[in-house]
């Protein structure tokens, strides 16, 4: 097996969005997901199984402003329909994996 990255993406947000997070998708105990909306805005969702928490990074809202995700929603941000559906799908996938491991 090769150790080459499976997925790599560059920051497409403007400098005003701040420094993008450096996320290692190989971190054990975490679920990771990436989305880019129709406007090219980038979103990253991370679910931490040990802490039982979800976090959303939204480049347009500022990379340095991670938002908590509760039950598949992010009350601190106004998300469009596609972003909302994606986040809900991420939550379901992450929590389904959590339930299987219990």
Per residue in 8-29, pLDDT (tens digit) is 889 999 999 899 999 999 899 9
Residue 48 φ/ψ, nearest 5 degrees: -100, 110
Residue 5 lies in a domain: no
Question: Residue 4 above 90 pLDDT?
Answer: no
Three-state DSSP class for residue 77: coil
Which among 61, 4, 51, 6 is positioned nearest to 30, based on CA atoms? 51
- DSSP H helical segments within the chain, as ranges? 81-101
Residues in the chain: 102
Residue 21 lies in a domain: no
pLDDT digits (tens, 9 = 90+) for 48-96: 999 999 999 999 999 999 999 999 999 999 999 999 999 999 999 999 8
How many structural domains are present in the chain?
Answer: 1
Residue 62 lies in a domain: yes
Question: Which domain does 62 fall in, by range?
Answer: 27-101
- 7/14 Cα distance (integer angstroms): 22
- The answer to whether the pTM exceeds 0.85 is yes
Residue 15 lies in a domain: no
Mean predicted confidence (pLDDT) in 33-58: 96
Residue 6 lies in a domain: no
Which tokens hold the place of 18?
């701040």
Residue 1 lies in a domain: no
- Band of pLDDT at residue 97, cut at 50, 70 and 90: low
Residue 22 lies in a domain: no
Question: Residue 37 above 70 pLDDT?
Answer: yes
- Asked if residue 25 lies in contact with residue 7, where contact means CB atoms within 8 angstroms, the answer is yes
Which among 34, 88, 81, 84 is positioned nearest to 59, based on CA atoms? 34
């Amino acid at each position: 097996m090769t150790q080459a990255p499976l997925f790599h993406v560059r920051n497409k947000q403007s400098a005003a969005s701040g420094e993008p997070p450096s996320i290692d998708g190989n971190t054990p105990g975490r679920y990771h997901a990436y989305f880019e909306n129709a406007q090219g805005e980038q979103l990253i969702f991370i679910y931490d199984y040990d802490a039982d928490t979800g976090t959303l990074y939204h480049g347009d809202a500022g990379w340095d402003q991670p938002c908590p995700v509760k039950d598949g929603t992010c009350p601190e941000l106004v998300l469009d329909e596609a972003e909302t559906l994606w986040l809900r799908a991420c939550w379901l996938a992450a929590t389904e994996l959590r339930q299987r491991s219990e």
